[in-house]
Amino acid sequence: MSCQSTWRGAAVVTCAFAATAHAGPPYQTDDPEPVALHKYEVNVAARATLTRSGRSGAFPGVEINYDGAPDVQLHLGVPLAFDRGTQPGTRYGIGDAELGVKYRWVQETATTRMVAI
């Protein structure tokens, strides 16, 4: 097998699985680095699930992060949830709100990864 055909095969496999990859906030696993001290960030996202019995999700989902102390980040997430089932009409309301604190306890160095809880 030539090097060129190996690269083509790798490209085909990568493209085939790229459609199932998802990225962007809100993350299932969070970035360990808090926002800069006394700064904030606002992320807006959409999530949806489509099944045979209908569609549900959140749009918009708003996430606000604020760093009020060194290595400590406060987090608030509030989605506008929707549900469109087999019954006519769509139901809307506030979804599961999320309130949290992130603490970075290991700084990243040349030999160590950053770690936060």
What DSSP designation does 89 have?
Answer: S
Q: Please indicate, yes or no, whether the overall pTM of this predicted structure exceeds 0.85.
A: no
Q: pLDDT-based confidence at 25, cuts 50/70/90?
A: low
Interval 55-111: pLDDT, tens = 888 888 888 999 988 888 999 998 888 888 777 888 888 888 889 998 888 888 888
Higher-confidence residue: 106 or 30?
106
Distance CA 89, CA 82 (A): 10
What lies within 8 Å, CB to CB, of 65 at 6+ separation is 34, 35, 40, 41, 42, 43, 73, 74, 75
Interval 4-24: pLDDT, tens = 666 676 666 666 665 555 555
Number of other residues whose CB lies within 10 A of the CB of residue 81: 17
How far, rounded to the nearest angstrom, does the alpha carbon of residue 10 sit from its chain's CA centroid?
A: 27
Q: Which pLDDT does position 6 carry in this prediction? A: 67
Q: Which pLDDT does position 14 carry in this prediction? A: 67
